[in-house]
Amino acid sequence: MRNSTFQQELFKEKSIIEIEIGCGNGHFISQYAEINRDKYLIGIEFKEKRFIKTSKKINEKNLDNVMLFNSRAETILADIPPLTIDTFHIYFPDPWPKARHRKRRFLRMENISILHRILKPHGKIFFITDFFDYYIQTKVLLLAHRGFSLALNSFPDNVLISIYGNKSMNMNKNIYRLSVEKTD
């Protein structure tokens, strides 16, 4: 995708662009794209088996408003022009629960700065986890960035239909939701 004419044209012609980082097996993005045909969705999934499952769901529903990438999110996000994305969906990312592994979490300050750069004014980030520590860390980092404020936006329907969402609900785990809006 790096510096291609196709990429630049894509962002010029689409009016509402949303990204799901870590689309897993594609439950959310396929259903969301089917309901929201007026939005263009980009799904990023690093794990190849999950990427293939997501691709199958998108193809079975014949969705032409979705583009998928089998890559690390940082690689794709680095090539997106500033002020082009309306919303980021980040649901049940790998929590890396051990203290020594927390530096591997996606929502670190350097990645939050990238999200901020490519979000449109008043763009949103929707985040859900069942790990309280990750929720608190993310909230602190987003507010420390000073480019975001807490938002009272309602989450899209069916954000908990993923494997991890269902698993958390079936185990009666607490689910922590965080919604922020770009302020500058």
Annotated active-site positions, please? Answer: 94
Residue 91 DSSP SS3: strand
Query: How many whole angstroms separate alpha carbon 119 and alpha carbon 183?
Result: 10
Give 179: exposed, middle or buried? Use CB within 10 Å, 0-12, 13-18, 19+. middle
Query: How many whole angstroms separate alpha carbon 76 and alpha carbon 72?
Result: 7
| Cα-based angle 22, 24, 27 (whole degrees, multiple of 5) | 120
Strands 176-182 and 148-150: antiparallel
Q: Which of 131, 113, 117 is nearest to 177 (CA)?
A: 131
